[in-house]
Amino acid sequence: MKRTPLTLIAVATALAAVTGFAAMTAPGDPAASAASAAPAPQAARLPVERTSLLCPAPSTSEIAETRTTSFTPAGTGAPAPAGEGEATKPAAVLAVAEKPKGSGATGKKGKAPKAPATVTAPGKPVSAETDGAVTHGLTGTATGALAPGWTVQQTTLVTAGAARGLLGVTCSAPDTDFWFPGASTGKGRSDYIHLTNPDDGIAVADIELYGPEGELKTSVAQSGVEVPPHSTVPVLLGPLLSEGAQENLTAHVTTRSGRVGAVLGSAADGLGSDWLAASADPAARAVLPGIPADATGVRLVALAPGESDADLKIQLVTPNGTIVPAAAESLHVKAGMTASVDLPDLTRGAAASLLLTPSDPKKPVPVVAALRVVRGKGSDQELAFIPATAPIAARATVADNRAEGTVLTLTASETDAQVKVTASAGTEGGAPATRTVTVKGGTTTVLADLAPKGVKGSYAVTVEPVSGGPVHAARSLTVTEDGIPMFTVQTLVDDRGTVQVPTARQDLGVLDD
């Protein structure tokens, strides 16, 4: 190929047209050598310009009441593209994820959920409500200034029947790897993994189940589970096993192709129902925040995914300090096997968080973990799940908080920390309110007075670390029906509202033939 040579002046002129300036130093000059030896500028953190979220199908109950709330926190948003017009304005839109024929959990025909109106500006939540059975999930995308921190909360109330309970889930980003300790195929349990595909191609997912003796044979080990484009597929765990019921399991979801959103829905006879979100990535240290003060039963389930056994020290982080619970001081987790322990009378009337650390700090072994929490007694019991969660790096938000029954738990398991807590305006009016909260190291702080004065409708809560050590957070929401404290707990996950963008530096030396 014939190539026309470019002079250095021509190259410099072209670069100047693109960047607004050009260094006219010839490659080999001392100034050029000094420039090349200078340290590269640090990568800048800029707001993300696009965020995707996926919500599972809410409920097959005909008496279900589902509220879906969409919110983007106020703050620095992504810049608008040059020449932005009506078609490219920032948007946060949810669409129905169809349910493929033959994939139904119960065979009942359900309708699609009502998606909230598009969020028009950061700082104000919008919501929509749907009554009855809803067997479709939602896929959503936020762009521009509405993308950083975009959050969608799905809350379903079922007042009677086998699926009775308050089910809450923060809709999650698509991924390729999920861990769900706390799953079960035991008597009276109906556990489904809901897989939602946001993309145009078919996704193929594998579901592995690990019991107390290790990995179990499943019927999908060879072919995987196909999830058609823009659809949601619920998979009942019980029929996957050929070895009988298992009370305590860890489910592992990976994809062979594509990506999915994954969440586990569980219903237990006499105990209610709720969603179990994926545990944080395997780590030697795990925090499970937000155990209610009046919990009557707590079960810890953990798995060591690697090839080494894990010996875990169990501690309870309370408002007054960190203690070792009387029910169990430690837990031995064999490699590739699910371990569990019941922790009765754990909280003793004070909301708290569970802390898992290596018994021998010199032998850290990564684990995944979750709690099954029960409130109430007898026929008035209700359950929820709390997965291990990572600390909030920059910001995290949970939507659909109510004037009554909302509690925020903040845990600083290491050193003192300060966080900024902002309660937004409501879906029906009101003004936001912000406070700074100090959490002492080794303690848990509980906030029950979150609703701003004059707020109407549901509101969002945003937590941002200000200084100090790591902070883990969870929101519990309680709705009492017929004397039953129906509740759900969502851990706050960092919203990844910014991303590192490397800073490029001109180097005309690459043009020297």
CA separation, residue 428 to residues 127, 454, 456, 457, 458 (Å): 10, 10, 5, 5, 8
The mean pLDDT of the chain is: 87
Q: What's the half-sphere exposure (Cβ side, CA atoms, 13 Å) at 51? A: 30
**For 461-509, what is each residue's pLDDT tens digit?**
999 999 999 999 999 999 998 888 899 999 999 998 988 777 666 666 5
- Tokens 């925020």 -> residue: 408
**For 108-153, what is each residue's pLDDT tens digit?**
456 677 777 778 889 999 999 999 999 899 999 999 999 999 999 9
> Can you tell me the distance from the alpha carbon of 501 to that of 503, in angstroms, rounded to the nearest whole number?
6
> Can you tell me the distance from the alpha carbon of 246 to that of 212, in angstroms, rounded to the nearest whole number?
9
**Coil/strand/helix, residue 412:** strand
pLDDT at 13: 38
CATH 3.30.360.10 correct for 396-485: no
Residues 6+ apart with CB under 8 A from 185: 191, 237, 238, 241, 245, 246, 249
pLDDT at 482: 84
- For residues 315 and 354, the answer to whether their CB atoms sit within 8 Å is yes
Quick one: tokens of 332?
């031995």
Three-state SS letters, 366-394: CEEEEEEEEECCHHHCEEEEEECECCCCC
> Can you tell me the distance from the alpha carbon of 368 to that of 210, in angstroms, rounded to the nearest whole number?
12
- For residues 406 and 475, the answer to whether their CB atoms sit within 8 Å is yes
pLDDT at 193: 98
pLDDT at 404: 93
**385 residue type, one letter:** F
Domain positions in the chain are 8-46+501-511, 49-276, 396-485
> Can you tell me the distance from the alpha carbon of 218 to that of 237, in angstroms, rounded to the nearest whole number?
9
> Can you tell me the distance from the alpha carbon of 286 to that of 291, in angstroms, rounded to the nearest whole number?
14
pLDDT at 11: 36
**290 residue type, one letter:** G
Any idea what DSSP says for residue 88? G
- Tokens 């020297």 -> residue: 512
> Can you tell me the distance from the alpha carbon of 338 to that of 215, in angstroms, rounded to the nearest whole number?
9
> Can you tell me the distance from the alpha carbon of 375 to that of 384, in angstroms, rounded to the nearest whole number?
9
Backbone torsion region of residue 96, taken as left when φ is above 0, otherwise alpha when ψ lies between -120 and 50, otherwise beta: beta
Element (H, E) at 137: strand 137-143
Residues 6+ apart with CB under 8 A from 29: none
pLDDT at 109: 56
Quick one: tokens of 15?
């670069």
> Can you tell me the distance from the alpha carbon of 442 to that of 419, in angstroms, rounded to the nearest whole number?
15
Which residues, given as ranges, of the chain have pLDDT below 70?
A: 1-43, 76-88, 99-111, 503-513
Quick one: tokens of 289?
């925040």
- Burial (CB < 10 A; 0-12, 13-18, 19+), residue 214, is exposed
Residue 249 φ/ψ, nearest 5 degrees: -135, 160
pLDDT at 159: 93
pLDDT at 120: 82
| Helix residue spans in 67-206 (DSSP H) | none
- For residues 451 and 437, the answer to whether their CB atoms sit within 8 Å is no
- Burial (CB < 10 A; 0-12, 13-18, 19+), residue 470, is middle
Threshold 0.85, pTM exceeds:
yes
| Helix residue spans in 181-331 (DSSP H) | none
Element (H, E) at 206: strand 203-211
Length of the chain as a residue count: 513
Element (H, E) at 423: strand 417-426
pLDDT at 72: 96
